[in-house]
Each structure stands twice: as structure tokens, then as C-alpha cells.
């Protein structure tokens, strides 16, 4: 077990190089940046609101992740399975956790790059008003944790798919459900206990406290545990494929 992190990082580096040479990565990055900017400045009318907060900007992240995360994860396992290279990976001296964490670290690094590319927006706007830097920091922490959980889920769905198209569509549909399911509880007159139960499974719901500049230990634990759970199930899927 002591060599697991090293092996995972070696695989992550290989996967990261493949991302950087793939046009889909750059297309997803441009879409991510444009969507969030258009959402803030045109749809939310940021300058007309005259409020020193970037909550509307980060509020777009759960929505745009529905399409961006599947683009990042769709190739990870589905393409390996389609080309047959997954059998080669499983015969190499790597444990299931090495393979899963290697792909997860690479995909998360790509997502982190996209988040870093958004920094010019708050850095520029902070010169124009009295923004709370601590709140913005919490919002980035929440966006990172939200992305980590969504990425681990996307990788799990990719391991269950036979091709990239199926992986993308499946991940987009599932992410749409877990991101937006909490919105239905606001529009439907549901009992409180039922609404709370539904909201518990919504990634966007657990992101709301971070978007407000608050780090809630319950939401922090949810993102960490959900990420670990999806990665664990991914290892079980890989192990099942290995022996079948």
C-alpha cells in the first residue's frame, strides 16, 4: 500500500498529458469560462445590481458542471473499454485504487486548471467594490469540492459505459438530476421531511453554504464522503471487470 500514491501519481501524469493534447479539454475550458461570464454579466446583470458579491457567478458552477464534467470524464474508462486497452491496464502491476485514483487525480487537475482560469474575474472586480475576500475563498473551496464529487461520479459512470457518447449522456443526465433535484423541492409543496431527504442527495444544495461564504462541516463531510464512496464503487467495478 505504501507505493499506491506514487503509482497513482505516475498514472495521473500520463492521463494529464492526454487531456492536454485533447481538443475537448480546450473546448470545455472555453465553454466554462464563457458560460460563467455570460451568466454573471448578462443574465444576472451584475453591474445593474450594484452589489459587491460574486454569489451569482459561483451560482452558475453547478449548472455548467452538468456539461463540463462529462466532457472531462467521458474518455477516462469508456475509451479504454472501447479500444480494449483496459484489459492491458488490468494485467499491469497496478492495484484497482492505483488506476482509479490516477484517473481521478488527472481529471481533478484539469478541473482545477479551469477554476484557476476564472481568477481574473474576481481579481478584476475586487478593484471596483468592497468585496469580501474570505467569502470568495470559501466559494472557491466549495466549487473545488463540488467538482471533486461530480468528477468521481462522472468517472464511475464512465466505467459503466461502453463508449464516450454513452458516458457523456449518462453522466450529463445523472449530474443534472443530482445538481438540480433540490430546485424541485422549492417549487413543489412537499412535506418538510421529504424535502430535506431529497435535498440531502443534491450536490448543488450542499454547495449553497459555500456560495454564501460559509464552511458548514456537514456539507464538507458530504462532499468528502460522496467523493470517497464514488471512487470506492469505481474500484469495485474495475475489480469485477478484472475477474470477468
More confident of the two residues 191 and 112: 112
Residues in the chain: 244
Domain ranges of the chain: 4-243
- The pLDDT of residue 152: 96
Helix ranges restricted to H, 21-95: 23-38, 46-49, 55-59, 61-73, 78-83, 85-91
Helix/strand/coil percent split, the chain, to 5: 80, 0, 20
Distance CA 148, CA 29 (A): 16
User: Is residue 2 very low, low, confident or very high in pLDDT (cuts 50, 70, 90)?
Assistant: very low
The answer to pTM > 0.75 is yes
**Radius of gyration (C-alpha) of the chain in whole angstroms:** 19
| C-alpha cell read off for 54 | 460574486
pLDDT band at 43 (very low <50, low <70, confident <90, very high): confident
| pLDDT tens for each residue of 200-231 | 889 999 999 999 888 899 999 999 999 999 99
pLDDT band, residue 137 (cuts 50/70/90):
very high
Amino acid at each position: 500500500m505504501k507505493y499506491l500514491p506514487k503509482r497513482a501519481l505516475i498514472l495521473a501524469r500520463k492521463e494529464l498529458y492526454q487531456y492536454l493534447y485533447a481538443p475537448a479539454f480546450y473546448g470545455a475550458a472555453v465553454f466554462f469560462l464563457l458560460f460563467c461570464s455570460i451568466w454573471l454579466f448578462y443574465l444576472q446583470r451584475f453591474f445593474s445590481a450594484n452589489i459587491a458579491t460574486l454569489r451569482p457567478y459561483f451560482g452558475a458552477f453547478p449548472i455548467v458542471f452538468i456539461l463540463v464534467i462529462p466532457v472531462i470524464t467521458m474518455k477516462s474508462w469508456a475509451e479504454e473499454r472501447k479500444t480494449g486497452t483496459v484489459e492491458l491496464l488490468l494485467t499491469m502491476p497496478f492495484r484497482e485504487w492505483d488506476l482509479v485514483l490516477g484517473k481521478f487525480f488527472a481529471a481533478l487537475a484539469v478541473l482545477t486548471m479551469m477554476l484557476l482560469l476564472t481568477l481574473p474575474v474576481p481579481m478584476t472586480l475586487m478593484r471596483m467594490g468592497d468585496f469580501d475576500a474570505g467569502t470568495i475563498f470559501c466559494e472557491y473551496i466549495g466549487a473545488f469540492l463540488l467538482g471533486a464529487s461530480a468528477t468521481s461520479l462522472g468517472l464511475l459512470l464512465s466505467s459503466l459505459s461502453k463508449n464516450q457518447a454513452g458516458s457523456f449522456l449518462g453522466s450529463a443526465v445523472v449530474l443534472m438530476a443530482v445538481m438540480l433535484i433540490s430546485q424541485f423541492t422549492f417549487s413543489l409543496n412537499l412535506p418538510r421531511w421529504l424535502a430535506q431527504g431529497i435535498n440531502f442527495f443534491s450536490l448543488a444544495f450542499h454547495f449553497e453554504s459555500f456560495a454564501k461564504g460559509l464552511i458548514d462541516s456537514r456539507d464538507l463531510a458530504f462532499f468528502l464522503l460522496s467523493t470517497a464512496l464514488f471512487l470506492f464503487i469505481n474500484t469495485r467495478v474495475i475489480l469485477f471487470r478484472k475477474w470477468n
